[in-house]
Structure 1
Amino acid sequence: MRRRPRPDRLELVGRTMLRHRFGPGDGRPFVLVHGIGCGLDYWLRLVPLLAEHGPVHVVELPGFGRAPKPARALTVEQLADHVVELLESIGRPVVLVGQSMGAQVVLETALRTPTLVERLVTIGAVTDDAERTAPMQGLRLLQDVLRETPGANAAVLADYIRCGPRRYLATLPSMLDYDTESAAAAVTVPTLLVRGSGDPICRRPWARRLAARLGVGGLVEIPGAVHNAQHTHPRATASAILTAALEPRR
């Protein structure tokens, strides 16, 4: 999908988040939350597949994508404030999807507004407790770049340029500090973990450990994908989001 609707500007305490709407007005809503440094573009192959089933809301959090940049980089918790406000404005339960650092944002959101989340989905969740340092994450990112398709790298790089290295690096400490495992253990909504089978950032042992902390959930691995499965394998990702069974795990 290449056609981009004019986004809505959602203001909160002087910060602006953009919301791009696709698909019908009725049906089960989907809300997509990007990772660190990213924005709308790397969702565009997944969007039309979800839009067949309901309205799709793709956010660009303050400072990322085409959203205005606040004076200071925001924490995971502050970014979740904006998603909470969006869910409250939608007013009915959604399928809430987050990729990479967006997985942390959607977990934090679901902890605060469980009645507004029908199903929670993380794609390439971060950050592995054994690798919560900037040098290690830099190494894993390099490994991922070498395995991604040129199209996926181009989509991500364009948003990294928009974000800029200063904001990326200023946001990174919050991503590294956020306790994803504890959030997964505390979340009460059904949660699906999705990872590419070759993802060097969300590695299999970490994903399995995270899945074991869920109350009701599941883990799906997409063969041949790495970190940006939603871009390189959109049909498999959409199928997992829509149909993967979630069962008691704890």
Structure 2
Amino acid sequence: MPRRPDPDRLELAGRTMLRHRFGPRDGRPFVLIHGIGCGLDYWLRLVPVLAAHGPVHVVELPGFGRAPKPARALAIEELADHVVDLLESIGRPVVLVGQSMGTQVVLEAALRVPDRIDRLVAIGAVTDDAERTAALQGLRLLQDVLSETPGANVAVFRDYLRCGPRRYLATLPSMLGYDTEAATAAVTVPTLLVRGAGDPICRRPWARRLAARLGVGGLVEIPGAVHNAQHTHPRAVASAILSAPLEPRP
């Protein structure tokens, strides 16, 4: 595991986001955006693989991970405000990677500042249009927990405890209500969809439907992985991020 650096505190509209930097200063940057309730920890196995190719910026959005909690839970669009601000500050095109709810945040950012993004990567995209209820998502989360490795569950639930159930549940309606399919159809940035082959949250029919809406894109499935493929299969995920071909879609 890489050593955790002291994070940068990035302020916007009275809210604080944390940015953890890894790897060199030069090269094409990677920016990693976590899912609901999560933060830095479940990226730490992927970070050193990507850092061999360029600087890595791991974000902890306001209210998540070790970032200070704002007075209320933020909507997807408000979380994307912070990502856009970071991309503007980096000043050169990045590979923008989101996981789970983070896929919605990065899609929203890509709709606003496509010129700041070289490649968009969505790992375990949510929320399936056929399953936009808290009850169904809770069932899918349970199915995933039962299939994840102990290490992945520890990394995720440690951050769930930091987040707390109140903020998690207050953020959930925005995640369930965000129109991921419409955003995917509208995005102009070359986009790679990644899913664990056994992911019960981002199921294959949903992922294929999203892939079919992309202008330029691709879909990669990671054998043996479920929802947190970036933790359990970091080299396979990094290989997809770095080199999976993206093709024009009809």
TM-score strictly above 0.5? yes
Secondary structure in structure 2 of the residue aligned to 1:49: helix
Structure 1 position 201, deviation (Å): 0.0
Matched residue, 1:167: 167
Q: How does 1:55-94 map to 2 (within 5 A)?
A: 55-94=55-94
Secondary structure in structure 1 of the residue aligned to 2:209: helix
Letter in 2 for 1:199: D
Instruction: Confirm or deny that 1:189 pairs with 2:183.
Output: no
* Whole-angstrom distance in 2 between the partners of 1:137 and 1:210: 18
Matched residue, 1:9: 9
* Whole-angstrom distance in 1 between the partners of 2:2 and 2:41: 9
Matched residue, 2:227: 227
Residue correspondences, number: 250
Matched residue, 2:34: 34
* Whole-angstrom distance in 2 between the partners of 1:49 and 1:2: 10
Taking only the aligned residue pairs, the percentage that are identical comes to 86
* Whole-angstrom distance in 1 between the partners of 2:4 and 2:120: 25
Cα shift readout 1:201-238 (whole Å, capped 9, x = no counterpart): 00000000000000000000000000000000000000
Cα shift readout 1:59-79 (whole Å, capped 9, x = no counterpart): 000000000000000000000
Cα shift readout 1:64-111 (whole Å, capped 9, x = no counterpart): 000000000000000000000000000000000000000000000000
* Whole-angstrom distance in 1 between the partners of 2:78 and 2:106: 12
* Whole-angstrom distance in 2 between the partners of 1:189 and 1:35: 21
Secondary structure in structure 1 of the residue aligned to 2:4: coil
Letter in 1 for 2:184: A
Matched residue, 2:179: 179
TM-score by length of structure 1 reads: 1.00
Aligned structure 1 segments of 4 or more residues deviating by more than 3 angstroms: none
* Whole-angstrom distance in 1 between the partners of 2:84 and 2:131: 29
Instruction: Confirm or deny that 1:200 pairs with 2:221.
Output: no
Contact 2:2 2:47 in 1 (8 A): no
Secondary structure in structure 1 of the residue aligned to 2:63: coil
Secondary structure in structure 2 of the residue aligned to 1:27: coil
* Whole-angstrom distance in 1 between the partners of 2:18 and 2:102: 15
Contact 2:65 2:163 in 1 (8 A): yes
Structure 1 position 249, deviation (Å): 1.1
Gaps of 5+ in 1: none
* Whole-angstrom distance in 1 between the partners of 2:162 and 2:154: 13
Letter in 2 for 1:132: R
* Whole-angstrom distance in 2 between the partners of 1:123 and 1:218: 12
Letter in 2 for 1:212: A
TM-score by length of structure 2 reads: 1.00
Matched residue, 1:249: 249
* Whole-angstrom distance in 1 between the partners of 2:48 and 2:26: 15
* Whole-angstrom distance in 2 between the partners of 1:246 and 1:231: 23
Matched residue, 1:210: 210
Structure 1 position 2, deviation (Å): 3.7
Cα shift readout 1:171-209 (whole Å, capped 9, x = no counterpart): 000000000000000000000000000000000000000
* Whole-angstrom distance in 1 between the partners of 2:204 and 2:161: 30
* Whole-angstrom distance in 1 between the partners of 2:37 and 2:231: 16
* Whole-angstrom distance in 2 between the partners of 1:94 and 1:2: 21
